[in-house]
Structure 1
């Protein structure tokens, strides 16, 4: 048992080293960041790095990132939950065929769809718009449909049957019975989707490269590549810390939902 905990602590520390280096480097001077061997802590914390990083990133970039992430979540939920409910609770002939089609996207590398998505977005005149950033990613919800469908299948059939006997329509059954019970599954999926959308770089760069719609990862890319020589490496690390904070906050808040999701039940 002691060896197990020791191994977990060592692995956790190794995984945390890059984050600790980023946090420590964000408070150093440019000379301290570049020195070798590197120091563990800054000699004098320089909080101005965060002010400079915020000025470089601008609040508009942060707002764009939130709009993109939450937009993707809303679109995927709006599509996947009704589709999953229909596949799980409303009997019709082609359920098996539809489920088979939904499995296919999981075998297609995501990069293969970038060019077709870009061409379609361009033809629709949606480049450099929020809709052009959000809709193509929001529509990629095959996994969400399968996930929520599996959850809805596990709900007792008597719940929906009783509601139907009382005269409730399928939409009322979905909104009043199944969705409240799916709270843990929805919260878990939303947190994972937020992390995925927040960390996206290629598609936001292709769909909206203009400064008015730029997201955090696109704004941070010149700092990571070193092409912006006016910005200190310490300021670049401070910008990375700023970009990491929402992700860290979402992960901390959603931990309990991960536990409920792993437990495999949405009924308390």
Structure 2
């Protein structure tokens, strides 16, 4: 009994220590966002600012501008929404609607996931440029939303776990496949939806290379592209504390999304989501 209790204590101590180690960069970022430039550069590091400088957040907000933050929300939500529209019907069809070549299509979806994104950047840019989508929301959103192989496989795996008898009963009652998807499959898919939305939103929000390449115009700039000049190191004319404050501002929407979807996210990780 004592050995079992000791093992539990050791596990909890290891978990707490691991959490603290992983939280150190986050704590440094939050602490640094309230420091002066001298305190950020001080060695040994100053853990707690002597006098919190809240003006750093005001300066960071003015540097980022509401337009940049709005562009980032439009880009991220556009990618998530369009991927949902493409992925849910395709995944449901692959999981529950019998048709020829479904296995071949499913196998084909794995191929794009094996190719590094940097290899497709140039041809993707050329296609987007030829379509006249440079410096447009369409150029930002549609090419990224079209990369939905992962989401199709994720939802397909979930829909495959739904009881076949439930689907067959609805079909016998005269429900169309669209009605089955809308009224039966989607209400049961909340854990999978929460998992996908949080992951997809985080991925889109953190993108840098594609928005930098396809939308260099300041009018279409997203938050990570706008933050890049603040990481200029010694050559930057802006205080690194303002850069850290900007990073905190950029982190808040992702943190809120995770907190909102946390319950369903954990259920999606732990099981199939059927209650």
Q: What TM-score does the superposition give when structure 1 sets the normalisation length? A: 0.97
The CA deviation string for residues 109-160 of structure 1, in whole angstroms up to 9 with x for no partner, is 1111111110000000001001100001100001111111111111111112
Structure 1: how far apart are the matches of 2:24 and 2:267? 29
Structure 1: how far apart are the matches of 2:234 and 2:264? 41
- The match for 2:224 is 217
- The match for 2:5 is none
- The match for 2:99 is 92
- The match for 1:239 is 246
- The match for 1:17 is 24
CA RMSD of aligned residues (A): 1.2
The DSSP-based 3-state class of the residue aligned with 1:155 is coil
Q: Which runs of 5+ in 2 are unaligned?
A: 1-7
Stretches (4+) displaced over 6 A = none
Indicate conservation of the 8 Å contact 1:222/1:228, yes or no.
no
- The match for 2:181 is 174
Structure 2: how far apart are the matches of 1:187 and 1:133? 23
The CA deviation string for residues 189-216 of structure 1, in whole angstroms up to 9 with x for no partner, is 1011011111110001111111111011
Structure 1: how far apart are the matches of 2:270 and 2:11? 23
Indicate conservation of the 8 Å contact 2:229/2:236, yes or no.
no
Structure 2: how far apart are the matches of 1:227 and 1:73? 37
**Size of the alignment, in residue pairs?**
268
- The match for 2:3 is none
The DSSP-based 3-state class of the residue aligned with 2:72 is helix
Query: Quick one: which of 157, 162, 184 aligns to 1:155?
Result: 162
Cα distance, 1:228–1:124 mapped onto 2, change above 3 Å: farther
Matched, 1:254 2:232: no
- The match for 1:32 is 39
- Tell me by how many angstroms 1:259 deviates: 1.7
Matched, 1:229 2:236: yes
Structure 2: how far apart are the matches of 1:11 and 1:260? 23
Q: What TM-score does the superposition give when structure 2 sets the normalisation length? A: 0.95
Query: Quick one: which of 94, 103, 112 aligns to 2:110?
Result: 103
The CA deviation string for residues 15-55 of structure 1, in whole angstroms up to 9 with x for no partner, is 11111111111111111111111111000001000000000
- Tell me by how many angstroms 1:228 deviates: 6.6
- The match for 1:189 is 196
- The match for 2:4 is none
- Tell me by how many angstroms 1:258 deviates: 2.0
Cα distance, 1:227–1:120 mapped onto 2, change above 3 Å: farther
